[in-house]
Chain A
Amino acid sequence: MKPNAAYRALARVDAYVNRAYTARWNPLYHSGAIAVALLLVLIGTGVYLLFFYRLGAPYESVAAINGQAWSGRWIRGLHRFASDATLIAVAVHAFRMYAQRRSWGPRALAWISGVALVGLVLLSGWSGYILVWDAHAQLLATEIARLLDAVPVFSEPLSRSFSGEYEVPNAFFFITLFLHIALPLSIGLLIWVHVARVARPVLLPARPVLWGVAGTLALIAVVWPLPMERAADLLHMPEAVGIDGFFSFWVPITRGLSPWPVWVAVLAITLLALAVPWLTRPRLQPLSAPATVNERACTGCEQCVRDCPYDAIEMIARTDGRDGSVAKVRSELCTSCGICVGSCPPMAIGPGGVTARDQLAEVRAFIAAETLTEDNVVIVGCAWSAARVEAERHGARLLTVPCVGAMHTSTVELLLRGGAGGVLVVGCPEHDGRTREGVTWTAQRLFQGRRADLKARADARRVRLVQANVGECARLHDAVLAFGADIDALNNLSEEERIDLVGMCRSNGSRRSEAGR
């Protein structure tokens, strides 16, 4: 199955950003964690602003904060820019999950809670803008009130609060401030639900990314501080006002419309967003069944429990009369990603049709169909990776696997034993795996002795892992050429020089460490 247009577009953007930041520090890969980190920045800066905010004089107190040249001005700017950046990070994160089809099945909970999180972030942002009570707040408040008045919920029209008949009461700002503080607490709780079905959730980005994002926003807040808009005047229509293009982009659009089309649009967008898990599910593929365990072959080593990205495997007492425990897959949590396939040395676990034994059968068929020689490099990759494009453009020998993260290392060994000069495994970038940690585990299995590791009898110098998405075909092609040259050089060595001493030492070392565990 070829990747969809959204995924291809995303991969192209990722490729450009990777050139600037490298795949390791690409902020787009850390979008979800960046959103959480920015929430912490918002809480920190918000607490400072809270010390100086006065309900009785909202505009004047914010103006006073803005007058603090050494602290308040840039902290207020950082608070505002961080909220905008949060919205961008959330949008990027949501689009990534959609494009990579990571929203259906057991992941639907994360998607739906994510939609709710977006709503809470918007509400929290709007309440913050209204607290300033400047011309922007006036436009935002009157527009929200106008829209809410169309829904027969409130006994009195909210718009009358902003008619200028009397001063906006302190109670209004108290309620708004309460919402502005309470909503982030709800966001915290919902984030917990959001990651509830994920093992080892990454809630904060790598430090360079974290400090890079926060530092850049702080710097721009210092260099280009936010101006104060005119104070709200309910008996005067603002002539020109600076609005927040992220949270208030809709105000210029809806002001000319009657409320009901706006509500219909909001409802339609919300329903569409909530329906994404169901809309994307049938298009993915004939769905794999959840993984199953062959109890007779399972040794109870617990590696699959450690590797599963969704905490879907647990250990239970054996039922076949033998001592010890055996892995059991909780099918309601299993996404059929197949990561467990690569983690099991005796090949005892995996979704139906893509078990390690199925993979070996496919490799045998591949070897039988291809005439492999020592000069040949076989590329192993999934249909979503750049490997497919490399094969189409340059005629490389390609073995397609459902996911590199789910690939058992025995397939690589079998390819080498089948005559291939080298095996180039093409996986997703490390922080952007469609099966989360899959490619990380594969790298460790191939080169660092993680179970199920590549055995010492396979020459690790003839194996290479390249992390390239479908937008990085040129980089992959360069890697293929370089690897081909290395294989040629290896083939030209004498029999004695060909002995992989480093690999043997590594293998012995990993065996010793396993014995020590």
Chain B
Amino acid sequence: MKVGWILCSAAAALAIAALARAPWIPAGHEQAWLRFSWRMNLVATEACRPRTDAELAELPVHMRTPEVCTSDLADYFLVLRIDTASADTVALVRGGVKGDRPLFVLEERRIRPGTHDVQVELVRAAAARTVLASLDTRITVRSGEIVLITLDRDGDRLMVRSADDVRAGGTSAAAGQPNRRDHDDDAEHRAETREQRGPAAQRKHFR
């Protein structure tokens, strides 16, 4: 019996210790990944007009604001093209129950390890389709590596980050350099969002 409980206890302890470090190979580790992740504020288009005297008269005194406004949020899309594949358009969902929270992008694409041509466009589709930022680059990835494409802090250019960049404490300058077209678009975009035309006119502002 003494041998019995020693053997049982040893077996149980070994089983616990072995299962506490159960080896597992996650599926997809032999692949590489392209990850798109960033957060950006939305541009809302707000149309305001003065209230008429009749409207003001119908309202209680404390609710008589001089203007009535309606705001409209644009839709955003991510257009991805990897190598020669056809463009993949992803509708970006705005955060929050009302869809009025900042927009969060988190997309992943599994790719083969090696060198790939990657084209990315961030598109705002309001009255007109505007390319807010774009990236046309060539990346080289190893198996198990995740290459991150993100928007810079100013929100006006897309850039590439890899594990090596993070270890080096920065981003890949060559890969992260946006082309000329990006700068032009962004400048235009910023100018557009700064536009102010008085209280009764249509205006856009950041949420």
Contacts and interface: CB of A to CB of B under 8 A. Distances in A.
Interface of A: 17, 19-22, 25, 77, 80-81, 84-85, 88, 139, 152, 155-157, 159-160, 163-165, 212, 216-217, 219-221, 224, 226-227, 233-246, 249, 251-252, 255-256
A238 B31 CA distance: 11
Contact of B20 (A84, A152, A252): A84
Contacts of A88: 16
Interface stretch (B50-58, B95-103, B178-186, B190-198): B95-103
Contacts, number: 138
B168 interface: no
Given A22-B1, A220-B14, A245 B38 contact: no
**Pairs of residues from A and B, 4 with the lowest C-beta to C-beta distance, nearest first:** A245-B19, A20-B4, A163-B37, A242-B21
Nearest to A218: B13
Contacts of B14: 220, 224
Given A244-B20, A244-B22, A216 B148 contact: no
B37 A165 contact: yes
Interface stretch (B71-79, B83-91, B159-167): B159-167
B161 to A, nearest CB: 7
Contacts of B33: 237
27 contacts: A17-B8, A81-B13, A81-B16, A88-B16, A155-B101, A156-B39, A156-B104, A157-B104, A159-B106, A160-B37, A164-B161, A164-B163, A165-B148, A165-B161, A216-B10, A216-B13, A220-B13, A233-B163, A236-B144, A238-B144, A239-B144, A241-B23, A242-B23, A242-B24, A244-B19, A244-B20, A244-B21
Contacts of B7: 20
Contact of A81 (B4, B17, B97): B17
B9 interface: yes
Contact of B163 (A20, A216, A235): A235
Contacts of A20: 1, 4-5, 7-8
B125 to A, nearest CB: 22
B62 interface: no
B146 A19 contact: no
A243 B22 contact: yes
The size bracket of the interface on B is 35 or more
Of listed B1, B26, B161, residue having the most chain A CB within 10 A: B26
B59 to A, nearest CB: 33
Given A163-B106, A242-B22, A217 B16 contact: yes
Contacts of A242: 21-24
A1 B38 CA distance: 64
Interface of B: 1, 4-5, 7-10, 12-14, 16-17, 19-29, 31, 33, 35, 37-39, 95-97, 101-102, 104, 106, 144-148, 150, 161-163, 166
Interface of B is mostly: mixed
A471 to B, nearest CB: 16
Given A163-B37, A236-B144, A256-B27, A84 B95 contact: no
Of listed A160, A164, A249, residue having the most chain B CB within 10 A: A164
A164 B146 contact: yes
B13 A160 contact: no
Contact of B19 (A19, A21, A84, A251): A84
A212 B10 CA distance: 11
B104 A160 contact: yes
Contact of A255 (B10, B12, B20, B26): B26
B25 A239 contact: yes
B98 to A, nearest CB: 11
A227 B21 contact: yes
A164 B5 contact: no
B172 to A, nearest CB: 12
Contacts of A220: 13-14, 16-17
A249 B8 CA distance: 24
Contacts of A80: 20
A251 to B, nearest CB: 8
B167 to A, nearest CB: 9
A19 B16 contact: no
Contacts of A216: 9-10, 12-13
A451 B37 CA distance: 74
B175 to A, nearest CB: 14
B8 A21 contact: yes
A165 B4 CA distance: 55
